[in-house]
Amino acid sequence: MTAPHRPHAGGLAADVGSIVGGRRLRRNRRTDWSRRLVREVSLTVDDLIWPLFLTEGEGVAEDVPSMPGVQRFSVDGVVRQAEEAAKLGIPAVALFPNTDPSLRDDTGSEALNPDNLICRACRAITREGLPIGIITDVALDPYTSHGHDGLMQGEDILNDETVEQLVRQALLQADAGADVIAPSDMMDGRIGAIRSALDRSGHGDVQVMAYAAKYASAFYGPFRDAVGTNTTLVGDKRTYQMDPANSDEALREVELDLEEGADMVMIKPGMPYLDIIRRVKDTFLMPTYAYQVSGEYAMICAAGQNGWIDRDRAMMESLIAFKRAGTDGILTYFAPEVARRLAKAV
């Protein structure tokens, strides 16, 4: 019988031992319980915000082709999804409309309709008395025929005129029951204008989550499919969304939004901008969120479907990365799935 191999005291093993000086970091990784004891960040259900897409009709649940597992819901369906989110302990849902093309025009006038999809959904969810927050998107792109976030004059996006309309949009959403107004348009000065208008109109308790550093990214394609702007967008959004090459500028954007009254800030997209998240959190020490955008979600799902990666492990690892970078929460289409996994792990 061959004797089991044991490392001898001398030779290479001894040399390695002397080099590390007794400090062996692998000891803490040896068992599951030990890894859990030394874990630096943890993901919980309290970190999740679930983005939901709205469409017209009743009893509608239609697939978004470029986002496996994601659907657009009519208002009644979104109420049921909000109920499910509340049962899972997810703190908030974020609502985005796919506006009927017949209602889109150059000025995005449907955004100012108190009975538009977002407002009806806010009222319907609020009536249920669910212990969940409602976050609403303030921007004109789901309502404009040209797909831009602002009013246009020729090829130019008009900043101040757009802000005036965004303020009216935000007030309608607050009147309908929105708990958090989330301007995603990237117009200068819109946070201060919206905050002031909310306070004057009796909505002083409504929070503002600023899309403070939103980049002109290639990762938004599936989202535009979901809200129906993939075929309407004229040109691009680089005159108002940020250049992906810039980091210091993100700090200036965040600082301005906080000075104007933002209660929390968001970086979008998420994974390609973890360095921005870290800088923002370290600099301002304010509630900081990331949006794991549609392109990030679709890539993980597509690679998983093709067997190129372990989808579930990649899903969890990606969200842990956001926490490690300093986020206080993540908008993610994986939210209900992750919430169920976390509940099973308890």
Is the pLDDT reported for residue 19 higher than 80? no
**Per-residue pLDDT tens over the stretch 31-44:** 999 999 999 999 99
Is the pLDDT reported for residue 254 higher than 90? yes
Say how many domains are in the chain.
1
**Per-residue pLDDT tens over the stretch 304-340:** 999 999 999 999 999 999 999 999 999 999 999 999 9
**Per-residue pLDDT tens over the stretch 95-112:** 999 999 999 999 999 999
Give a yes or no: residue 114 inside a domain: yes
Q: What is the largest CA-CA distance in the chain?
A: 88
144/141 Cα distance (integer angstroms): 5
Is the pLDDT reported for residue 18 higher than 80? no
Nearest to 333 by CA among 288, 297, 303: 297
- Would you place residue 21 in the very low, low, confident or very high pLDDT band (cuts 50, 70, 90)? low
**Per-residue pLDDT tens over the stretch 153-199:** 999 999 999 999 999 999 999 999 999 999 999 999 999 999 999 99
Is the pLDDT reported for residue 301 higher than 70? yes
Give a yes or no: residue 16 inside a domain: no
- CATH number of 235's domain: 3.20.20.70
Tell me what pLDDT residue 339 has. Answer: 98
Give a yes or no: residue 292 inside a domain: yes
Taking all residues of the chain, what is their mean pLDDT, rounded to a whole number? 94
Is the pLDDT reported for residue 253 higher than 60? yes
Count of residues for the chain?
346
Q: Are 183 and 211 in contact (CB under 8 A)?
A: yes
Q: Are 215 and 274 in contact (CB under 8 A)?
A: no
- Joined together, the tokens standing for residue 5 give 């191999």
214 flagged as catalytic: yes
Q: Which percentage of the chain shows pLDDT scores above 70?
A: 94
**260 annotated among ligand-binding-site residues:** no
Stretch 114-136: mean pLDDT: 98
Give a yes or no: residue 252 inside a domain: yes
Q: Are 99 and 142 in contact (CB under 8 A)?
A: yes
- Would you place residue 2 in the very low, low, confident or very high pLDDT band (cuts 50, 70, 90)? low
Stretch 249-259: mean pLDDT: 98
Give a yes or no: residue 27 inside a domain: no
Give a yes or no: residue 24 inside a domain: no
The catalytically annotated residue of 237, 268, 281, 323 is 268
Give a yes or no: residue 138 inside a domain: yes
- Would you place residue 237 in the very low, low, confident or very high pLDDT band (cuts 50, 70, 90)? very high
308/310 Cα distance (integer angstroms): 7
322/315 Cα distance (integer angstroms): 11
The catalytically annotated residue of 214, 237, 281, 323 is 214
Tell me what pLDDT residue 186 has. Answer: 96
Pairing relationship of beta strands 61-63 and 71-73 according to DSSP bridges: antiparallel
Q: What residues make up the domain containing 166?
A: 41-345
Stretch 130-138: mean pLDDT: 97
Q: Which residues pair with 236 in a beta bridge?
A: none
Taking the whole predicted model, whether its pTM rises above 0.95 is answered as: no
Is the pLDDT reported for residue 1 higher than 80? no
Tell me what pLDDT residue 234 has. Answer: 86
Helix (H, G, I), strand (E, B) or coil at 172: helix
Q: Are 41 and 326 in contact (CB under 8 A)?
A: no
- Would you place residue 150 in the very low, low, confident or very high pLDDT band (cuts 50, 70, 90)? very high
274/145 Cα distance (integer angstroms): 33
Tell me what pLDDT residue 6 has. Answer: 52
Give a yes or no: residue 83 inside a domain: yes
- Would you place residue 232 in the very low, low, confident or very high pLDDT band (cuts 50, 70, 90)? confident
87 flagged as catalytic: no
